[in-house]
Structure formats: structure tokens, C-alpha cells
Amino acid sequence: MKKIAIYWRTSTVDKQDLDTQLIPLREFAKARWFFIYNEYVDKISWWKENRPELDKLMEDAQKRKIDWVLVFRFDRFSRSTKHLINTLELFNNLWIDFISYNENIDTSTPVGKVLFTMISAFSEFEKSIIQERVRAWIHKARIKWKTLWRPKVDTDILKIVKLKESWMTFRDIAEKMKLKKSNVYNKYNSYKLNQV
């Protein structure tokens, strides 16, 4: 017998919300001869990120304790479109079928499979557009950075090199340019290393 997990979320604890969601889901599972493995109930507002019962359901799915997931509506299950798509992809990889009662979507049926394929295709398309935009932004940022932050040639180095090539000592150059001897020495050697 196939094991089904029922998930529902309510922002209130009133009886009406229970009747409109949970009872039809139980009847649906019973009519299809499913064994209800567990009912995961989050009594929490839609905008809250933390959903302990949804996390438990996902944990049980990863452990392959269930074969199906039944929800009342997409918006009662997922936090966002992205979350829904990622979850459906995970279920697909785990060979878990997904049913949304209100939208009449069942990923075990041919129509449901086509819909899932379309959702995944749009997800990939959206992902590739975002990646392309990010690549373009990085390319633009690199060009801009090179233009704005190109290191300026230190005119002191060129002067130091010229004086050194006229056989002046580092001490004399330092005195003439009012710099530390170590500074003159380091700049000269750094320049010579970059020329190699």
C-alpha cells in the first residue's frame, strides 16, 4: 500500500479552516486507497520562513518514508514559486509523487508529468537568464574596475630608476628625493622584478 503524507498550513486555528483543507484531503486519500503515513500541520502565517512540520515532511521524504505528498493548494505548501519548483524536483529525484488537491495536479499522471516538465523547463530558463545577467554584470564590473582602479605608475619609481642608472647610490637618491633609503631600494627592486 502506498504511503501518503498530508501537509496543510493554516494561519488560524479555527474549525472552518480545518474543514476546508484537512477533511477533503483525508477523503481523497481514503478514496484512492492510500495509507496516510502522517499529517503535517503548520499553524503559522504564510510569510513566516520557519515551518517545523514542513521540515519534518522533507526529512521523512529524504528518508524515503513516503511515496506521495498531498496538499490542499500550492500556496498552502510552498513559500514561493522557487521553493515549489525546487521541492518538486527533489520529489521527482526521490520518486515521490505530488498531488495538489485544489489545482487538480498529480505528478503520477501523464498530464501531471507534462506540467512538471514545463515547470522545470521554465525554472531552467529563468536560472539561465539570471546566470547570463550575472556574467554580464561581472564582465561589466571588471572592465569598469580596470578603468577606474588601474594602478597609477609611480613617478618616483621612474625617477629612482633613472638616477640609479646614472650610477647614483641608493643613499644619494634617497637624500635627493627626500625618501627613506629602504623605500628607494624596495621601489627600485620591485620595478626591476616587474620588468623580468
What is the C-alpha end-to-end distance of the chain, expressed in Å? 75
Place of cell 490542499: 72
**pLDDT category, 61, cuts 50, 70, 90?**
very high
Under CATH, which number does the domain 3-108 receive?
A: 3.40.50.1390
Query: Mean pLDDT in the chain?
Result: 81
Cα–Cα distances in Å, from 33 out to 18, 60, 69, 94, 107?
A: 22, 21, 14, 22, 17
The pLDDT tens digits for 120-136 are: 676 676 677 788 888 88
pLDDT of 14 reads: 53
Mapping DSSP to helix (H, G, I), strand (E, B) and coil, where does residue 174 land? helix
> Which of 11, 120, 128, 190 is labelled catalytic?
11
In this structure, how many other beta carbons lie within 10 angstroms of the beta carbon of residue 97? 20
Condensed to tens digits (0 to 9), the pLDDT of residues 106-124 reads 888 888 778 777 776 766 7
Q: What residue segments make up the domains of the chain, in order of their start?
A: 3-108, 109-148, 155-195
Cβ neighbours of residue 158 closer than 8 Å, sequence gap 6 or more: none
Question: Which DSSP string corresponds to 84-134?
Answer: HHHHHHHHHHTT-EEEETTTTEETTSHHHHHHHHHHHHHHHHHHHHHHHHH
pLDDT in tens, 35-59: 999 999 888 766 666 788 999 999 9
Residue 11 annotated to the active site: yes
φ and ψ of 37, to 5 deg? -70, -45
What are the residues facing 9 on neighbouring strands? Answer: 42
